[in-house]
Structure formats: structure tokens, C-alpha cells
Amino acid sequence: SYDLTQPPSVSVSPGQTATITCTGDKLGEKSASWYQQKPGQSPVLVIYQDYKRPSEIPERFSGSNSGNTATLTISGTQPMDEADYYCHAWDSSSLYIFGTGTKVNVL
Amino acid sequence: QVQLQESGPGLVKPSGTLTLRCAVSGGSISSSNWWTWVRQPPGKGLEWIGEIYDSGTTNYKPSLKSRVTMSVDKLKNQFSLKLKSVTAADTAVYYCARLFWSGQISWFDLWGQGALVTVSS
């Protein structure tokens, strides 16, 4: 089976940059997407196709994907960005996989 | 604006069948999209369960395949999930979601609010 691994938590000060990684075998050869989930709410798509951003998502969210790692970057992190973040990719054997999830703490 | 809404019993007995429906409003279920179910056990991560196209074509997570059935009702503009032989491990919030998929590129661009299903006697 195909697995996507994320750090359990990332801490960042307001206004600073948060970097969340997602690691999987040859992930750079696949397409990654990212989801934000606040407590008690449904996930929200923030990045798709590695780096594209839905129109309603702030520009401070950006993504990249190369080698074995996809990265979600939040520039100028705001307290409202505190949430769980999940990466996702498609694999021919496992089909749709989500990462283990990362809790972003804005301290 | 397309919206998704899950509905179904919030409590299912062990060994019973979990049944959920997802109503699509503000748009047609026959819109060249895949429709999916994703679940999230309390305090845990997201798990994809399966997908269905408006033609009725389905794909399921291999480890759940023997217990899952998905169907689509075009007249009611909704799709459904049945999960049989449930155990406490199936307790989760179940989300329906719209999926874009094209040649290994995929993303879930629209989610329902989620339905908590507890498996307990």
C-alpha cells in the first residue's frame, strides 16, 4: 500500500511562515492536494494539483511537490489558520490516500 | 452553488448495516464528476471509502470492498452508502464529497457537513 506521512504538529508565531511536509515514495511524480480542517468543521480544499489555489483561498497559501515531498507553505500565518492540514494523492494500487495529518498551532 | 448534505441514522447496532445518503443541491449529480464518501474516526485522520460516477460505476477502498455498496439516484439527485457488518471501528464522521479525477490527478473540491455515525448496542 502507499502511505503519506506528515509531521504530527507544526508551531508558528503569527506573521511567520509555516511549512508542512507530506512524504511518500516518488510523490513528486503524482499530483498532491491539501485540505484545511478546523475543529468540528468539514475539510476545505486549499491547494490542488500541487500548487494551484482555489479562488476563495488567500494568497498566503502555496504549495510545491518534488522528489518524495509535497509542501504546503503558509506565509504570514494568521491565528485563523490554526487547524489540521491533510495532504492527498492518488495511487494506482491504494487509490485515494490521505496523509496522517498535521496540526498547525499559531502561538 | 452546489451543496452536499448527508443524512441517515446516527446510531447503528454492531453487525448491522450503516446507510447514509448524500443530497446534491444547486446542481446536477450528472455533471461529469465522481461522488465519494470519506470518513473520520473521532480524533483521527481522513479515510477514503469509495466513489461512484453518475453512470453507476464504482470503486471502493480494497480493505472495505467486501462490505461497501454505493449507489446513485439521478431522479432524487442523491447518492448513497451502505456499509454492512459494522463494528465499533466503523464509528466515525462520514463525509460525502465531490471528486475531480483525471489521469492520476485528483482532488476533493466540495464537502458535506458530515454525519456522525456511532456503532453501539
pLDDT digits (tens, 9 = 90+) for B75-105: 999 999 999 999 999 999 999 999 998 888 9
In eight-state DSSP terms, residue B38 is E
Angle, vertex CA A100, rays to CA B36 and CA B22, nearest 5: 20
In angstroms, the CA B42 to CA A89 distance is: 23
Of A42, A88, A90, the CB nearest to B112: A42
Confidence at B109, pLDDT banded by 50, 70, 90: very high
Distance from CA of B93 to the nearest CA of A (A): 10
| B62 at A interface, C-beta within 8 A | yes
pLDDT at A95 over 90: no
Cβ atoms of A44 and A67 within 8 Å: the answer is no
Mean pLDDT of A28-56: 97
In angstroms, the CA A7 to CA A16 distance is: 18
Using DSSP's 3-state secondary structure scheme, residue B93 falls into strand
pLDDT at B26 over 90: yes
Whether residues A98 and B48 touch (CB distance < 8 A) is answered with yes
Whether residues A45 and B109 touch (CB distance < 8 A) is answered with yes
User: String of b and e for A8-24 (b: at least 16 CB within 10 Å)?
Assistant: eebebeeeeebebbbbb
Collect all residues of chain A within an 8 Å Cβ-Cβ radius of residue B99. Answer: 96
Cβ atoms of A70 and A32 within 8 Å: the answer is yes
Q: Which of A6, A42, A46 to mutate to test the interface with B (most CBs of B within 10 A)?
A: A42
pLDDT at B117 over 90: yes
Q: What is the pLDDT of residue A92?
A: 86
Using DSSP's 3-state secondary structure scheme, residue B62 falls into coil
Q: What is the pLDDT of residue A30?
A: 95
> Which of B5-14, B27-36, B112-121 is least confident?
B27-36
Cell of residue A14, nine digits: 503569527
Q: What is the pLDDT of residue B101?
A: 87
**What would the pLDDT profile of A12-38 be if each residue is shown by its tens digit?**
999 999 999 999 999 999 999 999 999
Using DSSP's 3-state secondary structure scheme, residue B91 falls into coil
In angstroms, the CA A92 to CA A63 distance is: 23
Distance from CA of A32 to the nearest CA of B (A): 8
Of B51, B107, B111, the CB nearest to A88: B107
pLDDT at A49 over 90: yes
Quickly list DSSP for A27-48.
Answer: GGGS-EEEEEE-TTS--EEEEB
Whether residues B105 and A90 touch (CB distance < 8 A) is answered with yes
